Amino acid sequence: MKIRTMLATLATTSLLAAGAALPAQASGSSEPLGNQSLAAVLTSDGNQFDNNAGDFDILTEAVLAVLAAKPDSPVKVLTDGNVPLTAFAPTDLSFRLLAKDLTGRFQWSERQTFQTLVDAVGVDAIEQVLLYHVIPGATIDSRTALRSDNAALTTAQGGKVTVDVLAPRLGIVQLRDTDRNDVDPFLQPGKLDINKGNKQIAHGIFLVLRPLDL
């Protein structure tokens, strides 16, 4: 089956309300958590494409594009800081590599990369990919993740992601997704615990989690 056809089937995937296999507050702190949303953090830098391959502009634009096309999308949970969740945030370079994998061409421009992905798979498939990066009901900080080898997390898309702690002392953690033919993403040192202290937390990752075997 062609990649575009396989990704298009994501649009019909039923969303599960199941949470992660970890407690709702897994931050290791007894202090109450704040209500700043991840959407507020993602858009705090002015919300524009740039030349920094290590930040999250393409991810931000993908979230905004889904919400513009589908205001009631479950992706909207990222705008509600009262809802606990953990998100894995692919860097801009990660999306460039995904676009190259899908089209055979590497786009140097973030804007062109974003448009290439929209043209290749459509907003509905992008919505499902985004939801596959969200673990609802659990605020999982990096310290907890390093103690969670083989934990199976249920995503907002309804799929599974497995935590594989390869080297706890070095902080090397890989996330096993559904695609068995490609390299699985890694947590990105230096880009962890984004929005820590709030109910919604994010960790930067290198490469994009794939909810289908492509």
pLDDT at 7 over 60: no
Confidence of residue 214 (pLDDT cuts 50, 70, 90): low
* CB burial string 41-58: b at 16+ within 10 A, e below: bbeeeeeebeeeeebbbb
Range 13-35 average pLDDT = 51
Domains of the chain, with CATH numbers? 3-8+19-26+34-142+190-206 (2.30.180)
pLDDT at 28 over 70: no
What is the three-class DSSP state of 212?
coil
Q: Which two tokens stand for residue 189?
A: 């040192």
The pLDDT, as a whole number, for residue 45 is: 82
pLDDT in tens, 197-207: 999 999 999 99
Range 87-107 average pLDDT = 95
Cβ neighbours of residue 32 closer than 8 Å, sequence gap 6 or more: none
Confidence of residue 11 (pLDDT cuts 50, 70, 90): very low
| Terminal Cα-to-Cα distance of the chain (whole angstroms) | 9
The mean of the pLDDT values for the chain is: 87
> What DSSP line would sit under 60-86, residue for residue?
HHHHHHHHHH-TT-GGGGGG-TTS-EE
Q: Which two tokens stand for residue 7?
A: 């990704």
Global pTM reads: 0.86
pLDDT at 91 over 80: yes
Say which residue the tokens 């009262």 belong to: 82
Range 157-185 average pLDDT = 94
pLDDT at 23 over 60: no
pLDDT at 26 over 60: no
Q: Which two tokens stand for residue 184?
A: 């699985």
Confidence of residue 38 (pLDDT cuts 50, 70, 90): very high
pLDDT at 134 over 80: yes
Range 38-51 average pLDDT = 90
